Amino acid sequence: MANLPERIRQAWKELDGPPVFATVDAQGAPNVIYATCINFFGDDRMVVADNYFKKTRQNLRHGGKKGSILFICKDGKAYQVKGSLEYHTEGEVFDHMKTWNPAKHPGHAVAVLSVEECYCGGERVE
């Protein structure tokens, strides 16, 4: 597991539009959604609130264990964080999500992306 580079954290502050969250099912078929409720957890994880997942929830429970988050900054640069996924309906990470997820959303669970690789365009970010 790798730490989130400072460059990624700084770029996140300049987010332009909704991030994209990609998962795969057990056969490797991709599913991509806009996910507006994302935050950091520690130095090595990003968490996505499961407010209205359907196919994404199925993938997280029964599918592939890899995913990515893609976002664009105000300067037009695209960043991607790739890693392993877990899905939690309780516990420390779930409780953390409940502190920042807007009250108008249900926050059924949380997808946790453990950082393995980060990119800006085709350039690997360390």
pLDDT, tens digit, 9 for 90 and up, residues 17-66: 999 999 999 888 999 999 999 999 999 999 999 999 999 999 999 877 99
Residue 37 within any structural domain of the chain: yes
> 11: domain range?
6-124
In a domain, 40, yes or no: yes
The per-residue pLDDT for range 58-103, each reduced to its tens digit, is: 999 987 799 999 999 999 999 999 999 999 999 999 999 999 999 9
**How many domains is the chain built from?**
1
Whole-number Å distance between alpha carbons of 39 and 55: 21
Establish if 1 belongs to a structural domain.
no
pTM for the whole thing? 0.95
CATH of the domain at 65: 2.30.110.10
Q: Tell me how far apart the alpha carbons of residues 50 and 38 are, in angstroms, rounded to a whole number.
A: 10
Residue 67 maps to a domain: yes
Examine residue 45 and state whether it is found in any structural domain, yes or no. Answer: yes
